[in-house]
Structure 1
Amino acid sequence: MKASPRAVDLTITGHVQGVSFRAYTADRARELGLVGWVENLDDGSVHVRAQGDPDAVESLVDWCHDGPSAARVDDVEVRDVAPQSVDDFSVRR
């Protein structure tokens, strides 16, 4: 029996803008078969909405604690949210 999809909102803080965090996150999410989006926020953090297989979501959350090599992640806030109708994983603003 397939597990119900899990959806999370992540807020990643630290030196996470200007280091290709969004592009690497989108690549990793797609590799894991997740849908959602990643975007820069005005406060310098990165917001991720990811949904799909719970194990894949957890793998992305774990990856976000390190991010790409040029990033410095100080914190990853994780909130479970209701899944939405999303078809792919996109990079926003």
Structure 2
Amino acid sequence: MPGPDLDTRIETYYVRVKGVVQGVGFRHHTVRRAHALGVRGWVANLDDGSVEAVIQGAANQVDLMLEWLRRGPPHARVTDFFSEERYVEKRYERFEQH
């Protein structure tokens, strides 16, 4: 009995990253990585100095994106990473920087 197809099931995750994540190109690099992996959603800076994102795509793509977000781009220093799956009806068409 085959399991769910990890390339077709759509997952949506909310992510919050803290540390040295603003002023180091975190959002720009996140958009580039999302486009390379084919995930959709958005990324934004928060007033408290953290970054939040919504990642949506096939399970394998989302896993790769979450793994990248735990580290971030070269000049970032992630000290705290939070992610949780969200069940939403909305389907994003692209990945954007807010």
1:72 aligns with 2:85: no
Partners of 1:7 and 1:59 in 2: how far apart? 13
Query: Structure 2 counterpart of 1:85, which letter?
Result: R
Q: How many residues align?
A: 92
Unaligned runs of 5+ in 1: none
Query: Structure 2 counterpart of 1:24, which letter?
Result: H
**Radius of gyration: which is bigger?**
2
1:39 aligns with 2:54: no
Identity of aligned residues (%): 36
Which residue is equivalent to 2:96? 90
Partners of 1:86 and 1:21 in 2: how far apart? 21
Structure 1 stretches (4+) deviating beyond 4 angstroms? none
1:50 aligns with 2:69: no
Of 12, 25, 29, the residue aligned with 1:24 is 29
Deviations 1:22-57 (A, max 9, x none): 000011011111110000011110001010011110
Q: How far off is 1:66 after superposition?
A: 1.0
Deviations 1:58-84 (A, max 9, x none): 101110111111100001101101242
TM-score, normalised by the number of residues in structure 2? 0.89
TM-score, normalised by the number of residues in structure 1? 0.93
Deviations 1:2-28 (A, max 9, x none): 531010000000000000000000110
How big is the alpha-carbon RMSD for the aligned residues of Structure 1 and Structure 2?
1.1
